[in-house]
Amino acid sequence: MEAQALFLQTGGSLIAILALYFVARALKLGGKPRLGDEAQVRACAGEVEEGFDAQRVSIARDGAAALASDADGRIMVIKRHGNRFAGRILTRSATVREEVDAIVVDAGEARFGAVRLSIDDPAYWADAINRL
């Protein structure tokens, strides 16, 4: 393909891509789902990690994230990603920072990002994560 044709095609495609993105926004596609109850978190945790059986669950007050632990002491952080959810089982490389009414959990993956959870029992989770 000649360079000029490639530039034209690329430019046209770029315009079409941005147009489709703004159409999706204008149509209000997507949305922001909330984690409403423990059953939802358990279902979500079981999908992040096959067979993960959450025993203790804390849901962020805004419903955008949650922490769950299983009988083996594994801890999972779940966050809203777009209009889906994604999660990670925390390892020793995870860090946690306590705030007044919340904790910030970093799974140790830069691109996954730190997850801030405003929860009722931040000290419990901070302690549990620090003991991993």
Binding site for another protein (CB under 8 A): 1, 6, 9-10, 13-14, 16-17, 20-21, 23-25, 27-31, 33-36, 40, 43-44, 46-48, 50-51, 79, 81-88, 109, 111-113
Query: Least distance in Å: CB of 38 to another protein?
Result: 12
**Closest CB to another protein among 102 and 114?**
114
Residue type, 121: D
Query: Least distance in Å: CB of 100 to another protein?
Result: 26
**Closest CB to another protein among 23 and 123?**
23
CA distance 80 to 84: 6
The beta strands (E) that lie in the chain are given as 54-59, 65-70, 75-81, 84-89, 95-98, 102-106, 114-118
CA distance 119 to 29: 29
**Closest CB to another protein among 8 and 123?**
8
Query: Least distance in Å: CB of 32 to another protein?
Result: 9
Query: Least distance in Å: CB of 69 to another protein?
Result: 19
For residue 34 the two structure tokens come to 């909330």
**Closest CB to another protein among 43 and 123?**
43
Tally the C-alpha atoms within 13 A of residue 9's C-alpha that lie toward its C-beta: 6
CA distance 88 to 35: 16
Query: Least distance in Å: CB of 16 to another protein?
Result: 5
